[in-house]
Structure 1
Amino acid sequence: MIVRAARPLLAGLLVVAAATACDSAGAAGGTGAVPTPRTAADLTLPFDAYDLSAEEREAVDKARFLMLAHCTRTFGVELKPVTAPAPIRRGRSADHVGWLGDLQVEKYGYAGPPQRLAVNYTGYTVSDEQHAVIAGRRRAFHGKAVPAGGCMGQVAELLNQGSLELLGGRAARVNEENDLEVLADEASEAASTDPRRREAERAWSACMRDVGFDYADTGAAVGDPRWANTAKDDQSPEPRGTTAEIATATADAACRLSTNYYGARQAAYRDSQQRIIAANQARLDRIKIINRTQLTNARRFLAGDLVMA
């Protein structure tokens, strides 16, 4: 048995070491003012206008899974969602800017609060043969015709119901909304070369030295081998929440605030995303329509007002 994703897994969390409150941005950097975020609510980025919030995404994921399970059940395939540690609920752009404010580092260190087990509607367990029905790789299964595009195609059609006219008569591709992650990757790559990034790390490192910690950059602190777990630690993970880790993480969080590390990082992402938007406006407008349509239909389905045939 293998675990499949109910929708393609999003690109990994993009952690680009960012920039500081440096007014002079080089050729690769932006020219906008550097913000001074103090709470997660301040961490807004241009792509937010085209995406769903965490709560909205959860509703769509749950509806998509339940629709998929309904379809596969007609072929004798029972889907069961995976139970996994629930991610810590964070601001939409918290990972982009390296935000530590909601991890309670002064109590738990970099790992944040213990994660509770919860139903994960983006995964399920099936065999390769059963997945062929889901993805539409077979014309028939156990003597029953498989719909075009498989159960995934049928679910996408229902979630995108009502979007055709809004999209100018060109139907949404299956998972077209995930193109936002491709564009986000492009923006993140550009942000990683923003000259404010190096200045941010230097300012942060100097702040840490002033309080007794010697790290070249934020990644070195988070990835300190005394507490950072790697693949080789699966059988014997490093202890978390130690006195040393908590002291380091607490100083780290304070230095990120005092040097406006977050603001510089946010500015780097903001400016790179604005350039991506300018070059891909029509594509992003479609993504926004698809996301909002899917959210509307997901809510209708979960409320019992939209049913599958």
Structure 2
Amino acid sequence: MNRARRITLLASSAVAVAVAIALLVALAPGDRPSAAPRPTPDPAVPASRVDISTLVLPFDTYETTPYENQVIEQAKDRLLGDCMRESGLSWTPLPVLTRSDTEGPHDRRYGLADPGVAARYGYHLPPLSPARKRLEAVYADRADLPLRERNAAFGPNSSTGGCWKKADERMFRGVERDQMSLLAGHSAQTFDVARRDPRVSAADKRWSACMKKAGHTYTDSYQALGDPAWGKSKRPIARERAVAVADVRCKRETGFLTTWIRVDQEVQNAAVRKNPALFRDLAEDRTAQLALARKILGRS
């Protein structure tokens, strides 16, 4: 199976769009932050050492996390493998991933936010864990399946037929796919609304002023994240790491993170209140699908 055809659940569509630019990586040597005085945070938005890894947003009740997506994908793959073996064909199962092997649901929702990651990797993505490397290797091997196995697994068009279709139908039985699409749309829309909120725009300006005092000129946080200089090297070097560290520090000292998170929560809560029936159904679907996946995998 071609890796581009892998079908996985993408619960956080808005985040995926917003941070796809983070795949650009590296830098050339250059200036480091100056020792300029640090700005005073907006009194209405006190500085906070926000821990993105424990952040909970309203939509989290309805969206599966990257780890939960992997659990569902693994369960579907178990069904696919059973189907293949019933046809007398072998199937290499996907390796088991732990929570630490997958990104957190909001890791880069607001750009870089972890000072340790910024200092070590700059704007590059951290390297894959051994388990994720094994996962990629299995997917790569499936791209070279013999014709008989490929057709049995994925159908004549090698994407959405065969045993894959049977497994997919069982995993999503009773789940309204249209509603899942609506959730993705709500995620994208609310992210954009929060991003454009005047309070977030003001926080971005405070962040920009802080960065300028540190010797780095960017009009907003995503301009720093998408600086084309980072794509010139496979590994981060001095200037990129310096900018990244200043980026995270300025987000914390200017109240950037606390502001955007608060607005994000407000906008998502408003969306839920506006369409309670839809979100109630989404919560039920998420719970039922995860329960089915864990049952298939034999997990409690």
TM-score (ref. length: structure 1) = 0.69
Match of 2:73 among 61, 65, 80: 61
Q: Deviation string for 1:246-297 (max 9, x for gaps)?
A: 1111111111110121112212321221222122221121121111111112
Identify if the C-alpha distance between structure 1 residues 94 and 2 changes in structure 2 by more than 3 Å, giving closer, same or farther: closer
Aligned to 2:220: 217
Aligned to 1:49: 61
* Contact persistence 1:103–1:110 (CA under 8 A): no
**3-state DSSP class of the match of 1:62?**
helix
1:109-188 alignment runs, 5 A limit: 109-116=122-129, 117-119=133-135, 125=143, 151-152=163-164, 154-159=166-171, 171-174=174-177, 176-177=179-180, 179-188=182-191
Q: As a proportion of its length, which structure holds more strand?
A: 1
Aligned to 1:6: 7
Aligned to 1:241: 236
Q: Deviation string for 1:145-195 (max 9, x for gaps)?
A: xxxx8645533454357xxxxxxxxx4235854543222112122223211
* Contact persistence 1:207–1:255 (CA under 8 A): yes
Residue identity in the other structure for 2:205: R
* Contact persistence 2:47–2:252 (CA under 8 A): no
Q: Indicate whether 1:266 and 2:282 are aligned.
A: no
Residue identity in the other structure for 2:134: A
**3-state DSSP class of the match of 2:73?**
helix
1:94-113 alignment runs, 5 A limit: 94-101=107-114, 104-113=117-126
* Contact persistence 1:200–1:259 (CA under 8 A): yes
Residue identity in the other structure for 2:135: V
Shift of 1:21: 6.3
Q: Indicate whether 1:276 and 2:279 are aligned.
A: no
Residue identity in the other structure for 1:222: L
Q: As a proportion of its length, which structure holds more helix?
A: 2
Distance in structure 2 (CA, Å) of the matches to 1:252 and 1:273: 26
Aligned to 1:286: 281
Distance in structure 2 (CA, Å) of the matches to 1:118 and 1:66: 17
**3-state DSSP class of the match of 2:123?**
helix
Shift of 1:128: 10
Identity %: 24
**3-state DSSP class of the match of 1:226?**
helix
Residue identity in the other structure for 2:242: A
Identify if the C-alpha distance between structure 1 residues 223 and 174 changes in structure 2 by more than 3 Å, giving closer, same or farther: closer
* Contact persistence 2:179–2:278 (CA under 8 A): no
Distance in structure 2 (CA, Å) of the matches to 1:173 and 1:88: 29
Distance in structure 2 (CA, Å) of the matches to 1:131 and 1:281: 43
Shift of 1:72: 4.5
RMSD of aligned alpha carbons: 3.9
Distance in structure 1 (CA, Å) of the matches to 2:85 and 2:179: 26
Identify if the C-alpha distance between structure 1 residues 181 and 226 changes in structure 2 by more than 3 Å, giving closer, same or farther: same
Identify if the C-alpha distance between structure 1 residues 60 and 269 changes in structure 2 by more than 3 Å, giving closer, same or farther: same
Shift of 1:82: 8.0
Shift of 1:202: 0.6
* Contact persistence 1:61–1:122 (CA under 8 A): no
Aligned to 1:198: 201
Q: Deviation string for 1:57-92 (max 9, x for gaps)?
A: 322221112212333554577665789xx9974432
**3-state DSSP class of the match of 2:16?**
coil
Distance in structure 2 (CA, Å) of the matches to 1:129 and 1:40: 46
Q: Which shifted more, 149-158 or 98-107?
A: 149-158
* Contact persistence 1:35–1:267 (CA under 8 A): no
Residue identity in the other structure for 1:70: D
Distance in structure 1 (CA, Å) of the matches to 2:147 and 2:116: 38
**3-state DSSP class of the match of 2:122?**
helix
